Amino acid sequence: MGTTYNIKVVATIEQVETLQLQQKIDAVLKQVNQEMSTYIPDSEISRFNNLQSTESVEVSAGFARVLAESIRLGELSDGKLDITVGPLVNLWGFGPKQRPETVPNDDVLSSTRARVGLNNLHLDGNQLSKDILNLYIDLSTTAKGYGVDVVAELIEANGIANYLVEIGGEMRLKGFKHTGELWAIAIEKPILDPSGEQRAVHQVVIPKDNAVATSGDYRNYFEKDGQRFSHIIDPDTGKPINHNLVSVTVIYPSSMTADGLSTTLMVMGTEQGMKFAVENELAALFISKTEHGFTEKFTVKFKQYLK
């Protein structure tokens, strides 16, 4: 996944070693990568993306689970979350391919958008098919969150009830710290800094037994001719998002769903995102950049988690 993980469990060292927890966690994360990483040429997702057939193929249970939830969120958001947007992500230089020398012109953008669309992808149980041969799935909006869920489920299956799992900023928590206190999570101030060195706390939340996912455009972007291009692509325009919303945090039981929802709301922007979050009773925090610094808005459901 090109990132780090940090896992805390409330247990004795002997318990952790006896359970071989580290080895089990590494094994399940390796499996998630082998199923859904577009950076691995022989991964399950890469094989499907390269498949020159519209016939359905059988996919693994984990891959099907992430696809099903990603498609559900895509339909719920009227296409604002689109896992077939990969060719556009690659076109703008945020995938496994190199960054473009120039900003893509309208003709290239139009021909690339013709390869995109959730309506071209079909999942029936664990049978997956596509209507166009060069359809390309990218699950970077939900697969990392799924990795968090899989690790959390593994920890619980081994009889540990108090834990914190974090992979690349996406988290899932349960129970209490060893001190008996609830887990407290700091939401980062969205400072434009690709290096990640200027880190500051914006807000602290107590998520209880939930997952926390944040999507932002303040770390992964590039600049060309004085214009900043975010890694988050709006499927409706085929271009990087261009609004004042810089960060969205969602608290939800599933990390996979929180991961997908935070990106969805980020694409929508503050006004549309807030409306969607309220309608769907989501716990969401929106941070926008203004001339005078950062402003925040949050749903009523998010308020209960503020420290």
DSSP state of 288: E
Least confident window among 32-46, 163-177, 205-219, 241-255: 205-219
CATH number of the domain to which 101 belongs: 1.10.3980.10
Is residue 34 in some structural domain?
A: no
Top-confidence residue, 190 or 224: 190
**pLDDT per residue as tens digits for the range 224-260:** 555 556 678 889 988 888 888 889 999 999 999 999 9
Count: domains in the chain: 2
pLDDT tens, residue by residue, 137-161? 999 899 999 999 999 999 999 999 9
* Per-residue pLDDT, 103: 76
Half-sphere exposure of 181 (CA within 13 A, CB side): 6
Instruction: Evaluate if residue 220 carries a pLDDT over 80.
Output: no
Q: Which domain holds residue 115?
A: 39-130
Is residue 143 domain-resident?
Answer: no
Amino acid at 90: N
Q: Is 263:81 a contact under the CB 8 Å cutoff?
A: yes
Residue with the two structure tokens 């998002």? 241
Residues 205 and 290 reside in one and the same domain: yes
Report which of residues 197 and 187 the model is more confident about.
187
Nearest-angstrom CA–CA distance, 86 and 138:
5
The mean of the pLDDT values for the chain is 90
Read off the CATH number of the domain in which 192 is found.
Answer: 3.10.520.10
* Residue 212 confidence (pLDDT) above 90: yes
Residues 189 and 297 in one domain: yes
Q: Is there a domain that residue 21 lies in? A: no
Look at residue 176 in the predicted model and tell me its pLDDT.
Answer: 97
Query: Is 154 domain-assigned?
Result: no
- Answer whether residue 102 is part of any domain: yes
> What pLDDT, on the 0 to 100 scale, is given for residue 105?
85
Q: Which of 84, 102, 130 is the last residue of a domain?
A: 130
CA angle 68, 73, 79 (to 5 degrees): 115
Least confident of 4-13, 181-190, 271-280: 181-190
Tell me if 3 is assigned to some domain.
no
Are 110 and 215 part of one and the same domain? no
Q: What is the DSSP string of 163-175?
A: EEEEETTEEEEES
Over pLDDT 70: what percentage of the chain?
90
Give pLDDT tens digits for 251-286.
Answer: 999 999 999 999 999 999 999 999 999 999 999 999
Please answer whether residues 245 and 263 qualify as being in contact, where contact means their C-beta atoms are separated by less than 8 angstroms.
no
In a domain, 238, yes or no: yes
Q: What is the pLDDT of residue 202?
A: 76
* Amino acid sitting at position 301: K
